[in-house]
Structure 1
Amino acid sequence: MRIGPLRVPAGEVALRPPRLLDGGAWSRIRLRDRRYLEQWEPVAPGTWEDRNAGLAWLPQWGTLRGLARRGASIPLVITVDGELAGQITVGGIVRGALRSGWVGYWVGTHVAGGGVATAAVAMLVDHCFGVGGLHRLEATVRPENAASLRVLQKLGFRQEGIFRRYLDVDGDWRDHQCLALTTEDAPGGLVERLLAEGRASLA
């Protein structure tokens, strides 16, 4: 499966499943951008270096594949001009009457601010609301993360509340804003909205 591409100021953005051979590029970005990423990501066992070393990719890749096969998650990598530039995931997928999941993403500093995250979220939302069969997606973001909030707000995610002391991030239990979107909020699709607003073009 490959989703996209869309052209934005940073380059040609596409989404695809993670590959075993992505480990080297993934690790280089994660280690280089520690200061940028660590302030937004939940605390996990081990040091940043251990968790993001090249050898750490193999078990993560295996876990992502297992969740995808069970239908609990849609894990993808973000590429810009064919090179890995980040990750985006829909997790916590529940079917039945709820048909919901959460979306999380990160991009490297070399493409931050170039429309990459916005294009990636738009393409994934359209996929989930289309062939993915979901009705609702939500995202939780620290109030201090202005860049991520802008991405979601530009795409029409609405704020639904504050989760107090929601996740252990960067040394403390942090409040997170909860934003959400349903199919009724994007009847024509988010990609079409980006194209109409001139924020992206078809590659």
Structure 2
Amino acid sequence: MPQNDQYLAVGPRVAVRPFTLDDGAEFTARARESKALHHPWLFPPQSAEAYAEYARRLIEDPARAGFLVCERDGGAIAGFVNVNNIVRGAFQCGALGYGAFAHAAGRGLMREGLGLVVEHAFGPLGLHRLEINVQPGNAASVALARSAGFRLEGYSPDFLYIDGAWRDHERWALTADMPRL
């Protein structure tokens, strides 16, 4: 496990830290192992080249912030939570995207990691609102949003182009002044 000073937040079982280019080998191996779990909902990078491009965007683009959820026992990457489309000014909002890796799925690690990222987003990142757009059939993702205290705000037909088609999404949101679970 990396030194504690590399983590932005630490919980009982996981810690979160920013993506680095050096995480490519482990991240892509975990993504390849998790292909069946992720399909058809998300498609994290599975090659070194795709990971490098993905991580650079998360590291360099001020409208994004990417976080790895790492197990405290051993430091293995359990999943990721990204804050995308950060809008400043009067909005102070970001859209969350996340995924667990197969070895960590169903163990509550992503719930803990998402909570740590939410606190970081509302604290040091200075955001007021976070949104999650999720396909209604993605029961695990809907359950994670609900368990983290996000409220269902609406439905967006044909919202994102995923896996060869425009997919409907539910819109979930949480603001800094809402109680968190």
* TM-score of the pair, normalised by structure 1: 0.80
Q: CA deviation at 1:54?
A: 2.5
2:143 alignment partner in structure 1? 150
1:2 alignment partner in structure 2? 7
Aligned 8 A contact 2:129 2:173 in 1: yes
1:18 alignment partner in structure 2? 19
1:64 aligns with 2:58: yes
**Sequence identity of aligned pairs in percent?**
34
2:111 alignment partner in structure 1? 118
2:81 maps to which of 61, 66, 88: 88
Q: 5 Å matches for 1:1-203? A: 2-7=7-12, 12-41=13-42, 51-67=45-61, 71-80=62-71, 81=73, 82-186=75-179, 190=180, 193=181
Q: CA deviation at 1:38?
A: 2.6
Q: Please tell me the residue identity of whatever aligns with 1:6.
A: G
Q: Please tell me the residue identity of whatever aligns with 2:67.
A: L
* Paired positions, count: 174
Q: CA deviation at 1:168?
A: 1.9
Q: CA deviation at 1:127?
A: 1.0
Query: Secondary structure in 2 aligned to 1:79?
Result: strand
Query: Secondary structure in 2 aligned to 1:110?
Result: helix
Q: CA deviation at 1:116?
A: 1.2
Query: Secondary structure in 2 aligned to 1:184?
Result: coil
Consecutive unaligned residues of structure 1, counting only runs of 5 or more, are 43-47, 194-203
Greater length-normalized contact order (CA 8 Å, ≥ 6 residues apart): 1
Q: CA deviation at 1:5?
A: 2.0
Supply the distance in 2 between the matched residues of 1:90 and 1:184 (Cα, whole angstroms).
Answer: 18
Q: In angstroms, what is the RMSD of aligned CA positions?
A: 1.7
Supply the distance in 1 between the matched residues of 2:92 and 2:17 (Cα, whole angstroms).
Answer: 22
Supply the distance in 2 between the matched residues of 1:154 and 1:59 (Cα, whole angstroms).
Answer: 32
Q: CA deviation at 1:39?
A: 0.8
Query: Secondary structure in 2 aligned to 1:122?
Result: helix
Supply the distance in 1 between the matched residues of 2:78 and 2:156 (Cα, whole angstroms).
Answer: 29
Q: CA deviation at 1:88?
A: 0.9
Supply the distance in 1 between the matched residues of 2:79 and 2:16 (Cα, whole angstroms).
Answer: 10
C-alpha distance after superposition, 1:138-175 (max 9, x if no partner): 00001011111111111211111111011122332211
Q: CA deviation at 1:107?
A: 1.0
Q: Please tell me the residue identity of whatever aligns with 1:142.
A: Q
Supply the distance in 2 between the matched residues of 1:168 and 1:75 (Cα, whole angstroms).
Answer: 21
Structure with the greater alpha carbon radius of gyration: 1
